[in-house]
Amino acid sequence: MSKAIVLNEKFENNGEVVLPASYEEINQHNLYLYVKSYLASLRANTARAKTRAEVSGGGKKPKAQKGSGAARWGSKRSPLFVGGGQAFGPTKRNYDQKVNKKQKALALKYALNAQANNGSLFVVDSFKVESGKTKDAVAVLNKLNKRDTLIVVDTIDEKTYLSFRNIKNCYMVEKQEVNAYLIAVYHSVLIEKSVLEVLTKEA
């Protein structure tokens, strides 16, 4: 069974929290489908090219039908001309990929379990940086000794937000914003105990 590391107020190892055994049986493909859907939803979907029917000009035949010995061009809006329409160019399309609620829940469970297996899921009773100073926030991250960290809290207070907002190797979210992609993409997760209980109950 996977175990999350419990940290005390000084961010030192203070025990373990065991995740449900059923998390070990979840197929990785659920996380793959969710991540694929999540990234697809971020696509701008703005690529657009005009066809020959949409570009301006081309009202006059470029040259005579006969006599030149060359092609019989009918319009400068043809894709063959500079400034003409584009053949088979990009058009607006819907990139959304549906993932049902059950798969989203399984993806979240798998992501949490994977972090726990890597020894990168840390649990604290509550998380606040009351000084509001960046150096104090950096000190917390240094104790975790991970490349980057996702911090999941119940509510972000102003002082804690100020202390972390300029740090590049971490990202802080409230419990309603967290998802399987965010948990999977970071090298470690620091989460409040109450939030973990809610996530494991809902997922």
Residue 152 CA: distances (Å) to CA of 58, 63, 142, 155, 186:
59, 69, 17, 9, 12
What is the token pair recorded at 58? 């081309």
Question: What b-and-e string marks burial along 68-78, b requiring 16 or more CB atoms within 10 Å of the CB?
Answer: eeeeebebbbb
Which whole number is the average pLDDT over 139-166? Answer: 91
Domains with residue ranges and CATH for the chain? 3-43+96-202 (3.40.1370.10)
Measured distance CA(169)–CA(62) in Å, rounded: 60
Beta bridge partners, 4, equal 17
Backbone phi, psi, residue 138, to 5°: -65, -35
Distance CA 107, CA 26 (A): 8
State residue 134's pLDDT score. Answer: 93
Structure confidence by residue, pLDDT tens digits, 176-187: 999 999 999 999
Please give the mean pLDDT across all residues of the chain: 91
Token couple for 12: 């030192």
Q: What is the mean pLDDT of residues 137-165?
A: 91
The predicted pLDDT at position 202 comes to 64
Answer whether residue 145 shows pLDDT above 80.
Answer: yes
Determine how β-strand 13-18 pairs with β-strand 3-7: antiparallel
Predicted pLDDT at 62? 86
- Report how far residue 129's alpha carbon sits from residue 134's, in angstroms, rounded to the nearest whole number: 9
Handedness of CA 181, 10, 143, 3 (dihedral sign): negative
Using N-to-C axis directions, what is the helix angle for 29-41 and 101-117, rounded to 10°?
110
Determine the pLDDT at residue 180: 95
What pTM was estimated for this model as a whole? 0.80
Position 147 scores a pLDDT of 92
- What's the confidence (pLDDT) of residue 92? 83
Confidence of residue 1 (pLDDT cuts 50, 70, 90): confident
Express each pLDDT in 72-131 by its tens digit: 888 889 998 998 999 999 888 888 899 999 999 999 999 999 999 999 999 999 898 888
Q: What percent of the chain clears pLDDT 90, i.e. is strictly above it? A: 60
Query: Tokens 């104090």 map to which residue?
Result: 136
Nearest to 102 by CA among 183, 1, 2, 202: 202
Give the model's confidence band at 150: pLDDT under 50 very low, under 70 low, under 90 confident, else very high.
very high
Spatial distance between the Cα atoms of 157 and 91, rounded to a whole number of angstroms: 44
Q: Which residues contact 138 (CB under 8 A, 6 or more apart)?
A: 167
pLDDT value of residue 182: 95
Q: Which tokens is 184 given? A: 């999977």
Q: Is 114 helix (H, G, I), strand (E, B) or coil?
A: helix
pLDDT (tens digit, 9 = 90+) per residue, 43-79?
888 889 999 999 998 888 888 889 888 888 888 899 9
User: What is residue 19's DSSP assignment?
Assistant: P
